[in-house]
Amino acid sequence: MQRRTFLATLAASLAPRMTWADVGAPAYLAAGKRGENFFLHGLTSTGTSLFRIALPGRGHAAAAHPRLAEAVAFARRPGTFALVIDCATGETRHRLTPPDGMQFNGHGAYSLDGSLMMTSEVVAETSEGRIGLWDTARYTRLADWPSQGIGPHEIERLSDGRLAVANGGIKTDPVDRSKLNIPDMRPNLTLLSPDGTPLDQIELPDLRQNSIRHLALMGDTIAFAMQWEGDPSEAVPQLGLWTPGTAPILCTPPEAQAFTMQGYAGSIAATKDRILITSPKGGALMLFDAKGTNVATHHRPDLCGAAASSAGFTVTDGQGAIWAASDDSLTPLASDQTQWDNHLVALG
């Protein structure tokens, strides 16, 4: 029995690994709920599900290997699972576990060649941020780096290997996620070198209660989406742009739309000349140009997931619909019984 098990494991390790093209070339990954069950889907550019893989609980975001049909599915924070899934077979190849006293925080990113996985994490008791580093040959943990802030959430790898980290600034209870430091929170956006060395960082001194949560890349510029934890009667921007080495630009919508997002941006996506942010709380999305000027606003209940596409943007909602978003319109692409979760992850 041990010999057969060994030979089966050896054969699996030597078998050729499938690429994304081998599983239908999905355009996106998205977590969702159908009935009482949770899944990770691979979606085409028009919203057709190519595969559906069961998850042990509610998913949040996923990270897609740059070449192989392999993804890491992250639990909604505080993370109790991060599963390495073979998207060709549906097999869970590895289950990542952070060190004792630490939790995953919903997001991760592969290195350019796929040899490393970086995970957003916190020390559970203090919410001190860490970036976990994993060797993807067998998903063994190599090290972890300080994220240079409290409560990191989304991380994005730039084309040159640097890592952008959205440190949300919120200390949370490790069990029930209650927020413990709202009056004193200090979010920041940090840039790390490929070896974890801090290179640059910005804070928002006049908006310390605007938690920096999600990121999208526009060449050398990092677009960041925020969630306001301060007085709800104050109108504050939910979008910022930062080119490292310069001051950030905050993108304010027209006065008449100042409260459209209800202080909450749930996801962000960007092309070379447009940025899109969604708000499930506000039931809306906003489009901005590369200079941060609002160019369009569209309304739909519970919009959240967002990704850039060759045609513009694709967005999902919690009622099962998938949409194409442009300056001119929000156009239905597909509908499903799946309640889509917060994020839509673009491949490639």
Write down which residue in 158, 176, 203 finishes a domain: 203
- Rounded to an integer, what distance in angstroms lies between the CA atom of residue 153 and that of residue 105? 6
In tens, the pLDDT along 186-212 reads: 999 999 999 999 999 999 999 999 999
Which pLDDT score is estimated for 164? 98
In tens, the pLDDT along 289-308 reads: 999 999 999 999 999 999 99
- Rounded to an integer, what distance in angstroms lies between the CA atom of residue 184 and that of residue 148? 16
State percent of the chain over pLDDT 70.
Answer: 95
Q: Is 300 domain-assigned? A: yes
Which pLDDT score is estimated for 16? 66
- Do 60 and 104 have their domain in common? no
- Do 237 and 322 have their domain in common? yes
- Do 293 and 228 have their domain in common? yes
- Do 180 and 220 have their domain in common? no
Q: How confident is the model at residue 177 (pLDDT cuts 50, 70, 90)?
A: confident
- Rounded to an integer, what distance in angstroms lies between the CA atom of residue 96 and that of residue 103? 11
Q: How confident is the model at residue 310 (pLDDT cuts 50, 70, 90)?
A: confident
pLDDT higher than threshold 70 for residue 9:
no
Candidates 46, 44, 32, 29; CA nearest to 333 is: 46
- Rounded to an integer, what distance in angstroms lies between the CA atom of residue 7 and that of residue 289? 56
- Do 189 and 167 have their domain in common? yes
Which pLDDT score is estimated for 225? 98
- Do 116 and 212 have their domain in common? no
Q: How confident is the model at residue 233 (pLDDT cuts 50, 70, 90)?
A: very high
Residue with more model confidence, 143 or 311:
143
Mention every residue, 6+ apart, whose C-beta is less than 8 A from residue 3: none
> What is the number of structural domains in the chain?
3
Candidates 256, 155, 175, 270; CA nearest to 223 is: 270
- Rounded to an integer, what distance in angstroms lies between the CA atom of residue 340 and that of residue 34? 9
Q: Is 8 domain-assigned? A: no
pLDDT higher than threshold 80 for residue 238:
yes
Which pLDDT score is estimated for 348? 74
Residue with more model confidence, 6 or 338:
338
Candidates 45, 162, 36, 172; CA nearest to 106 is: 172
DSSP one-letter string for 35-88: TTEEEEEEE-TTS-EEEEEEESS-EEEEEE-SSBSEEEEEESSSBS-EEEEETT
Q: If you average pLDDT over residues 217-236, what whole number do you get?
A: 96
Question: Which range is least confidently modeled, 4-8, 16-20, 46-50, 314-318?
Answer: 4-8
Which pLDDT score is estimated for 170? 96
Write down which residue in 162, 184, 203 finishes a domain: 203
Q: Which structural domain range is residue 68 located in?
A: 15-86
- Do 176 and 128 have their domain in common? yes
Backbone angles phi, psi at 169, to 5 degrees: 85, 0
- Do 176 and 215 have their domain in common? no
Its pTM stands at: 0.93
In tens, the pLDDT along 242-259 reads: 999 999 999 999 999 999
Quick check: 276 and 285 in contact, CB under 8 A? Answer: yes
- Rounded to an integer, what distance in angstroms lies between the CA atom of residue 315 and that of residue 299? 12
Taking the CA atoms of the chain, what radius of gyration do you get in angstroms? 19
Q: Is 156 domain-assigned? A: yes
pLDDT higher than threshold 60 for residue 4:
no
State percent of the chain over pLDDT 90.
Answer: 90
Angle at 66 between CA 82 and CA 166, to 5 degrees: 55
- Rounded to an integer, what distance in angstroms lies between the CA atom of residue 33 and that of residue 49? 14
- Rounded to an integer, what distance in angstroms lies between the CA atom of residue 10 and that of residue 12? 5
Residue with more model confidence, 1 or 34:
34
Q: Is 287 domain-assigned? A: yes
